[in-house]
């Protein structure tokens, strides 16, 4: 069982979103401002739709924290949906659906059809409300708590957008340490946060924005690829001994659990599959002065045998284009089976920049669990002591 567990609840246009985090040690310093900063980061990005103008997401911690420190008990929090006031009747807990307005036409690429069949629903709002990526707000809030725990141990997490549709930057984190990568990892988020598309490659940034604008004009949507990195990690998180203890397996599951993700690579992933072993594997060296093993490249993305190897942990994630198109695709009415165009509902043109921030949160939750698994204790001080000792 994971040491750190979390649950989320909430519908996109319901009253709000609820999250619970269980297993965080006592005495971890927790700032609500830091949670809200991460929520703000998730709301950014060129290509977001009208909803982000309505919401200003902030978390209210309900339990598990006293005077700025965790108690070791479950932490729960609430995030209001400001849009709720426009949906009070449609999303009411009791009573009837006013006007009997149903979502009856599934969108290709969305959970609508499979969800409606599986859960025996005729109104696909009963599926889409929970399938919506609005839910990731809670994960970012809980991830922001995990992140404060990691940060106190010196572990950092950052992200950037590598690709939007077919516009691609060559500045991949895989090249960290080579002349093509010229940013300190500590500076990555500052740089990416300043870009409307989280792209650190200024020339490509403009092309990405132009492409999103084109998709918007054509009432289309686009996906892309983002990279998340964790740095200052110790050697030894995760394990080779069993499939579900491999850290790469846990990371892949966490990333694929984000709405609209279709692929995950660790390090050079699919790229490495096309080359010889001699070109892929990161040779091992030892530096006497600092008493450390080191590598000159990082195709493994910081993981070997499902265990962190001390290099930056690099995850790359592919997001499909948003399934709600303003120029809807062919579909079929759920009940009558009549061919019609898909349901259209306010949405985003792209959300890849926001997805990168969500990827950071998911990585924080997985890594905090891995740290607790390796160094576990009941208080932050107990863990910190073991952590520092191991680092020596």
Interface residues toward ligand EPS, by CB under 6 A: 12, 49, 51, 83, 132-134, 137, 324, 345-348
Could you tell me the smallest distance in angstroms from the CB atom of residue 110 to ligand EPS? 7
Could you tell me the smallest distance in angstroms from the CB atom of residue 137 to ligand EPS? 5
Residue pointed to by tokens 């990585």: 363
- CB nearer to ligand EPS: pick between 49 and 196: 49
- CB nearer to ligand EPS: pick between 137 and 350: 137
- CB nearer to ligand EPS: pick between 49 and 234: 49
- CB nearer to ligand EPS: pick between 207 and 220: 220
Looking at 10-114, which runs of residues are DSSP E strands?
A: 16-22, 59-63, 65-66, 69-70, 75-80
CA angle 136, 141, 142 (to 5 degrees): 95
Could you tell me the smallest distance in angstroms from the CB atom of residue 57 to ligand EPS? 7
Could you tell me the smallest distance in angstroms from the CB atom of residue 162 to ligand EPS? 21
Nearest alpha-carbon partner for 309 in 275, 282, 340, 289: 282
Helices (H), 95-167: 112-119, 125-131, 136-152
Cβ proximity of 38 and 392 under 8 Å: no
Could you tell me the smallest distance in angstroms from the CB atom of residue 78 to ligand EPS? 15
d(Cα 330, Cα 366) in Å, to the nearest integer? Answer: 39
- CB nearer to ligand EPS: pick between 118 and 346: 346
Cβ proximity of 301 and 314 under 8 Å: yes
d(Cα 319, Cα 333) in Å, to the nearest integer? Answer: 27
Could you tell me the smallest distance in angstroms from the CB atom of residue 59 to ligand EPS? 13
Supply 374's token pair: 């390796």
Element (H, E) at 8: strand 5-9
Nearest alpha-carbon partner for 4 in 186, 145, 119, 120: 145
- CB nearer to ligand EPS: pick between 134 and 171: 134
Could you tell me the smallest distance in angstroms from the CB atom of residue 226 to ligand EPS? 15
Supply 331's token pair: 């579909």
- CB nearer to ligand EPS: pick between 79 and 367: 79
d(Cα 163, Cα 227) in Å, to the nearest integer? Answer: 9
Characterise 10 by phi-psi region: left (phi > 0), alpha (psi -120 to 50), beta (else): left
Could you tell me the smallest distance in angstroms from the CB atom of residue 49 to ligand EPS? 5
Looking at the DSSP bridge assignments, the partners of residue 308 are 303
- CB nearer to ligand EPS: pick between 43 and 379: 43
């Amino acid at each position: 069982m994971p040491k750190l567990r979390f649950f989320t609840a909430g519908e996109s246009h319901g009253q709000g979103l609820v999250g619970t985090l269980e297993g965080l040690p006592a005495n971890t310093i927790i700032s609500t401002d830091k949670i809200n900063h991460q929520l703000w980061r998730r709301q950014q990005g060129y290509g977001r739709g009208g909803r982000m103008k309505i919401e200003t997401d902030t978390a209210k911690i309900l339990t598990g924290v006293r005077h700025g420190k965790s108690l070791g008990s479950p932490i729960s929090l609430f995030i209001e949906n400001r849009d709720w006031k426009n949906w009070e009747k449609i999303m009411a807990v009791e009573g009837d659906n006013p006007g009997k307005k149903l979502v009856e036409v599934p969108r290709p690429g969305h959970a609508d059809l499979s969800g409606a069949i599986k859960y025996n629903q005729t109104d696909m709002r009963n599926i889409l409300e929970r399938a919506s990526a609005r839910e990731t707000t809670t994960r970012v809030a809980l991830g922001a708590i995990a992140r404060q725990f990691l940060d106190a141990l010196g572990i950092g997490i950052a992200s950037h957008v590598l690709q939007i549709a077919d516009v691609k930057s060559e500045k991949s984190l895989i090249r960290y340490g080579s002349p093509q990568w010229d940013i300190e990892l500590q500076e990555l988020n500052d740089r990416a946060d300043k870009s409307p598309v989280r792209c650190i490659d200024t020339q490509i940034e403009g092309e990405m924005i132009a492409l999103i604008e084109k998709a918007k004009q054509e009432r289309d949507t686009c996906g892309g690829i983002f990279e998340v990195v964790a740095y200052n990690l110790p050697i030894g998180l995760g394990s080779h001994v069993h499939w579900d203890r491999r850290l790469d397996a846990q990371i892949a599951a966490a990333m694929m659990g984000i709405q609209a993700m279709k692929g995950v690579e660790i390090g050079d992933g699919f790229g490495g599959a096309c080359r010889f072993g001699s070109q892929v594997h990161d040779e091992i060296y030892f530096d006497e002065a600092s008493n450390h093993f080191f590598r000159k490249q990082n195709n493994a993305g910081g993981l070997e045998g499902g265990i962190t190897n001390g290099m930056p942990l690099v995850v790359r994630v592919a997001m499909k284009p948003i399934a709600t198109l303003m120029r809807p695709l062919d579909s079929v009415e759920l009940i009558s089976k009549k061919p019609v165009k898909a349901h259209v509902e306010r949405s985003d043109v792209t959300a890849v920049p926001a997805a990168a921030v969500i990827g950071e949160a998911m990585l924080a939750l997985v890594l905090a669990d891995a740290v607790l698994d390796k160094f576990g204790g009941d208080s932050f001080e107990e863990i910190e002591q073991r952590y520092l000792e191991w680092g020596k």
